[in-house]
């Protein structure tokens, strides 16, 4: 008989039977908990693995360059977001004064985790989340852009 353990997600904590094939099975199979595990893993990785951090920053930078109008459109659509974000920016500025390391991470994808959590306005959290980590896809697109044969963004004009 397998021993039940508690899910490591503090919002869940339900008992489940871990899969014996997975050595470090700490989260149950609910989608919410799988997401929690992924976020937790990513945030730990960002803190502890400089290569991963660099890679994520480059991916994010690459994504930003290919989607320059994304945030413009987003802001136009949600004017409250701009006000809200201005407040958050003040907080971030304060944190930046407190810690140079944190500021480094703030200026990249991590800020998109922090913003949505505080506002129901930004229910699109998950979509932003997944868009921040298109590492492989982004590299492929970048390569396609550089050879000049294809363009990653559909253009309406000539």
d(CA 109, CA 128): 10
Determine, following the binding rule CB under 5 A, whether residue 9 of this chain makes contact with Zn ion: yes
In this chain, which of 1, 3, 7, 99 binds Zn ion, going by CB under 5 A? 7
Q: Which is nearer to Zn ion, 13 or 95 (CB)?
A: 13
Helix boundaries (H) for 11-134:
31-48, 50-66, 68-77, 79-98, 100-105, 111-117, 125-131
d(CA 112, CA 125): 8
Determine, following the binding rule CB under 5 A, whether residue 12 of this chain makes contact with Zn ion: yes
Determine, following the binding rule CB under 5 A, whether residue 132 of this chain makes contact with Zn ion: no
Determine, following the binding rule CB under 5 A, whether residue 122 of this chain makes contact with Zn ion: no
Q: Which is nearer to Zn ion, 25 or 30 (CB)?
A: 30
Place of tokens 């908990």: 33
End-to-end CA distance of the chain: 67
Determine, following the binding rule CB under 5 A, whether residue 62 of this chain makes contact with Zn ion: no
Q: What tokens appear for 17 in the block? A: 């039977």
Determine, following the binding rule CB under 5 A, whether residue 36 of this chain makes contact with Zn ion: no
Classified as helix, coil or strand, 32 is helix
Q: Which is nearer to Zn ion, 30 or 35 (CB)?
A: 30
Determine, following the binding rule CB under 5 A, whether residue 110 of this chain makes contact with Zn ion: no
Least distance (Å) between residue 6 CB and Zn ion: 8
Determine, following the binding rule CB under 5 A, whether residue 28 of this chain makes contact with Zn ion: yes
Least distance (Å) between residue 14 CB and Zn ion: 5
Determine, following the binding rule CB under 5 A, whether residue 33 of this chain makes contact with Zn ion: yes
Which burial class, exposed, middle or buried, applies to 110 when counting CB atoms under 10 A from its CB (0-12, 13-18, 19+)?
buried
Chain contacts with Zn ion (rule: CB under 5 A): 7, 9, 12, 28, 30, 33
């Amino acid at each position: 008989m397998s021993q039940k353990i508690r899910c490591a997600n503090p919002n869940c904590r339900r008992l489940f039977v871990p899969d014996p094939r997975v050595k470090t099975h700490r989260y149950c199979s609910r989608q919410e908990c799988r997401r929690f595990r992924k976020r937790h893993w990513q945030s730990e990785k960002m803190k502890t693995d400089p290569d991963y951090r660099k890679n994520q920053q480059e991916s994010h930078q690459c994504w930003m360059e290919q989607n320059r109008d994304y945030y413009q459109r987003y802001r136009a659509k949600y004017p409250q977001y701009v006000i809200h974000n201005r407040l958050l920016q003040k907080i971030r500025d304060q944190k930046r004064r407190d810690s140079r390391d944190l500021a480094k991470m703030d200026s990249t994808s991590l800020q998109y985790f922090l913003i949505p959590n505080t506002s129901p306005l930004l229910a699109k959290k998950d979509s932003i989340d997944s868009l921040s980590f298109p590492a492989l896809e982004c590299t492929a697109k970048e390569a396609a852009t550089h050879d000049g044969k294809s363009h990653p963004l559909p253009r309406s004009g000539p």
